[in-house]
Chain A
Amino acid sequence: MLNEETLYARFISGELSQKEIESLKANGDWDKLSKIAEFTGELELPSFDTKRGFDVLVERKNERTKSEPRVINFKLWLGIAACFLLFTTTWMWFSSSTTNVISPYGQTAQLVLPDDSKVILNAGSTVEYQKESWDSNRKVLLDGEAFFKVSPGNSFEVETALGSVNVLGTEFNVKARVERFEVECYEGKVQVNRNLEKLTLSSNEAIYDENLNVVQIQEETRQPSWMKGRSDFSNYPLLDVLRELERQYDIKVICQENPSFTGSFSHGNLKLATEQISKSLGLNVIISKDRKEVQFTK
């Protein structure tokens, strides 16, 4: 086969054709590769102390500038003073303003907060926080869906339009989309506040619905499905599933039907994803030529 020499690479990026998937499954490679992908996806390196590294660089640079002999004249000094003024004002402006991180449709984004807490944003999401007062005010505004790995410390709050989550050091996922407010806690404890109701989730517990019913999640689940390159749904209205499809692929979806859907779709291969959704519901799919619009019909 022509593409044989990139086959496994495309397994990882989710770009295999249906036929290739079937042949991998048939000869047992699918399971082996899945295990390797899963295991290597969880590997990490010790983190690099970039705060210190940057200070060292600044110091190095200052020393270098000092050691360079230079003829100093009045004009130059005036210039330096003006630059310095400009620089400090920009710095102050930067450091006092709110920091925004946005992941556009079709992409995820990662950020590391000043205390080394990590946030990974699913497609089409925004977080906002105050960098300068972070240590005294660990609060993140979230619109969309994100996974949090919080460093131990003072209270850490995730505020959304639909409710808020308070935590100490822990790992959890918050989904605050127009249609849903969901929280999955993988480690530690989180407190969920919604519509004046408060409840505490322990590790491997989650809420998915309006009534804040606590559900057990599988112990093996250490991450939300979207971080593993797919989106999982259990008894979801199809239209909500399709909103997620729009966010993952930066497309427009048209659909008149709204049955309930249980299953998942992969990220990284639009055709495969639409088939995964449509097959089980007996729907037909039309993908426009420019791959910007998808229609589901009966």
Chain B
Amino acid sequence: MSENICEQVSFGKVYFKHAEHLRNFLYYKSGDLHLAEDITQDAFSKLWEKCDEVVFSKAKSFLFTIANNLFLNKVKRNKVSLKFIKQTNRNFDKKDPQYLMEEKEFKSRLEKVISELPETQREVFLMNRIDGMKYKEIAALLGVSVKAIEKRMHKALKVLKNEIGDV
């Protein structure tokens, strides 16, 4: 049995489930939050237009493919600079200021090194670390083998380890 995603309720389900992951994915690629949100909305618009042709279970990979194409066509590749929020430790006063400074330093170096990773490694790394996706899921969304995803992940970690591992 397949659910028809033309219906607003089903479409909403797809939207609330995947919109944030898709937006994140596009942010990892572009480093531009507004652009990422625009393309996300455009990809969903496309999905709604084509809702008769896409079944519920295939909606996610359809979205990622469409978004990827929109991104490739629209965007002139720039150097990206990613910013993240780290869950802040609220017991600041109890912490050694030296430690806090080192932590802040570590975070900004991390952001820099991640931003400088090649796009294919960066997206895989962050889809796993931030969106919590398994390699298998990422492989399905990007249309490559799990082994390829693992290799990209390994390379990304290798760079990170060499650049900031001993801080």
Contact = CB atoms under 8 A, between A and B. Distances in A.
Most B CB contacts (10 A, CB to CB) among A13, A43, A90, A94 go to: A43
A281 interface: no
Contact of B8 (A11, A32, A47, A87): A87
A6 B150 contact: yes
A222 interface: yes
A71 interface: no
User: Could you tell me the dominant secondary structure of chain A's interface residues?
Assistant: helix
Contacts of B147: 6
B129 A53 contact: no
B15 A53 contact: yes
B157 A219 contact: no
Contact of B84 (A6, A9, A44, A56): A44
A61 interface: yes
A42 B86 contact: yes
A39 B107 contact: yes
A187 B20 CA distance: 26
Contacts of A12: 128, 153, 157
Interface string B105-127: 01100100010000000000100
Interface string A34-58: 0111011111111110100110111
Contacts of A5: 150-151, 154
Interface stretch (B33-41, B53-61, B62-70, B71-79): B33-41
Contacts of A33: 157, 161, 165
Given A45-B24, A90-B9, A60 B129 contact: no
A61 B48 contact: yes
Given A39-B107, A43-B129, A54 B23 contact: no
Contacts of A58: 8
Contacts of A39: 86, 106-107, 110
Identify which of A32, A94, A187 gathers the most chain B CB atoms within 10 Å of its CB.
A32
B33 A46 contact: yes
B157 A11 contact: yes
A45 B129 CA distance: 11
Interface residues of B, number: 50
A57 B44 contact: yes
A134 interface: no
A120 to B, nearest CB: 9
A11 B132 CA distance: 15
B151 A8 contact: no
Given A36-B164, A53-B19, A222-B89, A43 B157 contact: no
A57 B15 contact: yes
A7 interface: yes
Given A29-B161, A32-B165, A56-B41, A50 B154 contact: no
Contact of B16 (A9, A36, A46, A50): A50
A40 B158 contact: no
A147 to B, nearest CB: 12
Contact of B150 (A10, A40, A42): A10
B52 interface: no
A236 interface: no
Contact of A54 (B15, B85, B134, B151): B15
A91 B9 contact: yes
Interface string A212-226: 000000010010000
Nearest to A40: B129
Interface in B7-31: 7-9, 12, 15-16, 19-20, 23-24, 27
A5 B157 CA distance: 11
A7 B154 contact: yes
Contacts of B2: none
B45 A57 contact: yes
Given A48-B20, A60-B41, 18 more contacts: A5-B154, A6-B150, A7-B154, A9-B135, A9-B153, A12-B157, A36-B164, A41-B129, A45-B33, A53-B19, A53-B41, A57-B15, A57-B48, A87-B9, A90-B9, A94-B9, A219-B91, A222-B87
Give 3 closest A-B pairs by Cβ, nearest first.
A32-B165, A9-B153, A8-B157
